[in-house]
Each structure stands twice: as C-alpha cells, then as structure tokens.
A and B are shown apart, each in its own frame.
Chain A
Amino acid sequence: MEELLAQAREYLQAVLQRQGERLVPLVEFRLETGPYCDSPRAVATFADGRDWRWALPLGPFYNLDRRGADYFCRECERIFWRLYEEHQIEERLRPLRERVQRLAQTSTDCAVIVQAARELDLIEEQMRRRYHEAPMLVVDHGAFDEAAFSLLPGGVTFVEAPGRFYSTDWAAQAPRTTVELLQPPGGLDVIPGDYIREFRAWLDADLLGAMYGGQRAGAETKAMTLLNEWLTPAQRDQYRHDRSFEVIGSASGKRYRIRHGEAMNVDELDGKGRAVQGWCFAPEGYLAAGDVMLAQKIALETDERAALKKANPFIVDPWGGRYPGGVSFVASAEL
C-alpha cells in the first residue's frame, strides 16, 4: 500500500512540476478514514496548506475491485485537473488584486478602496462558488475519454467549448449546457494530451498491475468462491445474471437485494421489486466483497433486526443514485 501511495505521490508531483513552477507543490499524499460508510479518503496536501480529499466510495481501498480501482485512479487524475483550475483562478485574480492594491496605495478615497475590495471579494466568491458547485475538469480536445468518468457518482455531462476548455458538470444539472469558464492565460490554456495518455498508461501498467498482482486478488477469488458455496441455487442464478441476489428478512419477511459491493449495497425492496431504502452495514475489517455480501446475507436471513439496528440507512433514487439519509425518494414520491 505504501508503495502504491508513494508511486501516486511521486507521479502527481512530477506532473504538477511539469505544468509550471507556479503550481503549488505537492507535500503529502495519503489515505485517511472517511466519515461515511467507513470508506477511506485519499488526501493530497499542498505546500499552501490546502488539502484535497476525495472518498473511495466503493469500499475499503484494500478491497477495491477492478471497477473501484479504476475509480480511484480517475479520481487521482481529477485532483490534478482541479489543481489546474485552481491555478487558473489564481492567475485571473492576481491582476485584479494588484489593481486593488495599487488603488489602495494611490487613492485617498476610502469609500472607493473599500468598494474595490468588496468587488474583488465578490468576483472571487463567484468564481469559487461556481467552481465548487459544479466540479469541472479541464482537458484538451480529443484527449479525454468520457467512459472513464462514467464511474463517477451520478455520471458526468460534458460541456463543449471547442478549441478552448472542456468542462464537465454533474448529470443532475442541465445537460450539455455551456459553462463559461475562466479565460486561459497565455501558454496554459490547453493541457497536452501526452500528459493524460502518459498518466493513464502509468495507472494501468503500474498501479492497477500492482493492486492485482498480490494478495488482494486472491482474497477476492476466495471470498467469491465462499459466497458461491453458501448461496441458495436461486440466489446463485440471480447473482450470475446481474451480480446481485435477493434475501428475505428473518423478522419482517421483507425482500432485500444485495448488490455486488462492500458498502451501500443493500437495498430494501417494495412489492414491485423497486428499491425503496438502502441499508449500509458490513463486517468489521477490510474484507473482500464476496465475504461482505455473504455476511450481509446471513445477517438478514437469520437476525434481520440486529443487522438493521447496526445499519445506516441511505436514500436510493430511481436513477440509481445513493445518498446518505433515511428517506427513500420512491417512498416519498408515493406519499
């Protein structure tokens, strides 16, 4: 694990440096325990004191399957694009700041100085708000693979601005709406596609290769074998069909669908088989997905109440989104 983190840290640092000295150097790259669903978060700390965090929502890092690892890698990449955007923001604000400073040094009208400072604050606030509300990515034309980002929660809608920046917006927002991004300063308007391709090659060759060459791959296989042994024939057929199976709660007789995964993967179903409520619980420790699913199955089939007492509810929406909380979108819509 340390080796993988060191590789990621080294690579991010190298890429950032190659983008120009003005980009803030990376100081540390680590994992920490996340606040939700026990998922760890990757954290990149930069020399200006800022931390960038992103959760690994598919379960503990040690148990990431191919899909989860891919997600992690794309998120590694995304942090770089975010930094790049941050850099753009700073670049654009700098001349404005200098203008306000000059005004403060030369003007004797306090009201004008205060007004200028307020306007600067507003501009910065507006830029950062848009930046945070609609996470954006900056890539050059033709070098970006949409499929890679299909793994992000809710998906990503791409917004075209040919020849300049590409940005993304969450799918929940208006589709294919042009977002006016920052005007690129000279020389930094396009990230060379070579960087992206090189990064992807490194991810595939080194990081993923390392992750699947060791014990974890063996754990996944063993856990899936064990799960397969313990599923009923009907559940085995269901799992083969769509990587999920249903169980009946021992106390309530309710149906639950356990989807392949390690967290946020148990859905309570209504009479029509629709997910009306999600339940997140798992055995302690970093177990492989097969083990987690088997423990969930046994818990629900033998002691449903105890399992749900431990579980945290989450919302399942009709489009497959899953959010912290205890009220189901479907259930609410029917009330």
Chain B
Amino acid sequence: MATQIVMDTSGDTRHAFDAGDQVALKAAEDRFRELTGLGFTAATRQPDGSSKLARKFDATAQETLFFPRLVGG
C-alpha cells in the first residue's frame, strides 16, 4: 500500500491507497494536485534516507509527504 502523508495540526493525516487500483490511484493523483495547488510541497523518501521533491505525481512512490507552504518567521 502506498501512502500520502499530509501534515496538519493533528500531526499528520495519512491516506493509504492501492497503487494497483485505478480508482484509488486517480483519487491519490487528484489529492496530489489539489494539495500542491494549495501551496503544499510534496516530497518522497529515497532508499538512502534522503528526500526528493515531487513536482509531479509519482504512481510508484511508496510514501509521499506534503507540508504546507513555507513562510518566513
């Protein structure tokens, strides 16, 4: 199961989906577009522990993290 993790005030909300299920995959892609459209940054975790920005929806990513737009303090 792939997971989309969205940071929020409760810590995070996780959306698990089966990448083999076309309906679920479409929903995940829609969520990706919606969140990035709102200013969220998407990132995926690499095998070595580093992270990589996800500018486009990656159907093969096992874990995608979304965090809100950055602002200066």
* B72 CB-CB contact with A under 8 Å: yes
User: B70–A302 contact, CB under 8 A?
Assistant: no
Kindly state the separation between the CA atoms of A230 and B45 in the bound complex, as whole angstroms.
7
* A154 CB-CB contact with B under 8 Å: no
User: A37–B7 contact, CB under 8 A?
Assistant: no
Task: List the A side residues contacting B70 at CB < 8 Å.
Answer: 281-284, 295, 299, 306-307, 310-311
Chain A residues touching B, range: 35 or more
Q: Which of B11, B65, B71 contacts A38 (CB under 8 A)?
A: B71
Q: Which of A264, A288, A294 contacts B73 (CB under 8 A)?
A: A264
* A7 CB-CB contact with B under 8 Å: no
Q: Which of A39, A235, A280, A291 contacts B11 (CB under 8 A)?
A: A291
Kindly state the separation between the CA atoms of A294 and B70 in the bound complex, as whole angstroms.
12
Over the window 20-37 of chain B, the binary record of Cβ atoms lying under 8 Å from chain A Cβ atoms (1 yes, 0 no) is 000000000000000000
User: A283–B68 contact, CB under 8 A?
Assistant: yes
* B53 CB-CB contact with A under 8 Å: yes
* A33 CB-CB contact with B under 8 Å: no
User: A280–B9 contact, CB under 8 A?
Assistant: no
* B60 CB-CB contact with A under 8 Å: no
Task: List the B side residues contacting A37 at CB < 8 Å.
Answer: 73
Partner-contacting stretch, out of A14-22, A216-224, A269-277: A216-224
Over the window 279-317 of chain A, the binary record of Cβ atoms lying under 8 Å from chain B Cβ atoms (1 yes, 0 no) is 011111111101100110111011100110011100000
Pair count A-B, CB < 8 A? 108
Task: Indicate whether A38 sits within 8 Å of B7 (C-beta atoms), given known contacts A232-B49, A297-B51.
Answer: no
Task: Indicate whether A218 sits within 8 Å of B71 (C-beta atoms), given known contacts A232-B50, A301-B51, A303-B53.
Answer: no
Q: Which residue of B lies closest to A219 (CB)?
A: B11
Over the window 40-57 of chain B, the binary record of Cβ atoms lying under 8 Å from chain A Cβ atoms (1 yes, 0 no) is 010101001111110000
Shortest B73–chain A CB gap in Å is 3
Kindly state the separation between the CA atoms of A274 and B20 in the bound complex, as whole angstroms.
49
Task: List the B side residues contacting A219 at CB < 8 Å.
Answer: 9-11
Kindly state the separation between the CA atoms of A280 and B73 in the bound complex, as whole angstroms.
5
Q: Is the interface of B mostly helix, strand, loop or mixed?
A: strand
Shortest B36–chain A CB gap in Å is 14
Kindly state the separation between the CA atoms of A301 and B51 in the bound complex, as whole angstroms.
7
Task: Indicate whether A302 sits within 8 Å of B67 (C-beta atoms), given known contacts A215-B10, A222-B11.
Answer: no
* B18 CB-CB contact with A under 8 Å: no
Kindly state the separation between the CA atoms of A235 and B49 in the bound complex, as whole angstroms.
10
Q: Which residue of A lies closest to B48 (CB)?
A: A232
User: B12–A226 contact, CB under 8 A?
Assistant: yes
Kindly state the separation between the CA atoms of A62 and B39 in the bound complex, as whole angstroms.
22
Which residues 209-241 of A have a CB within 8 angstroms of B?
215, 218-223, 225-226, 230-233, 235
* A26 CB-CB contact with B under 8 Å: no
Task: List the A side residues contacting B65 at CB < 8 Å.
Answer: 226, 230, 294, 298
Task: List the A side residues contacting B43 at CB < 8 Å.
Answer: 298, 302
Kindly state the separation between the CA atoms of A307 and B71 in the bound complex, as whole angstroms.
9
Chain B residues proximal to chain A, CB less than 8 Å: 5, 7-12, 39, 41, 43, 45, 48-53, 65, 67-73
The 10 A-B pairs with the shortest beta carbon distances in the complex, nearest first, are: A222-B11, A280-B73, A232-B49, A37-B73, A295-B67, A283-B68, A219-B11, A312-B72, A284-B68, A302-B53
Chain A residues proximal to chain B, CB less than 8 Å: 36-39, 62, 215, 218-223, 225-226, 230-233, 235, 263-264, 280-288, 290-291, 294-295, 297-299, 301-303, 306-307, 310-312
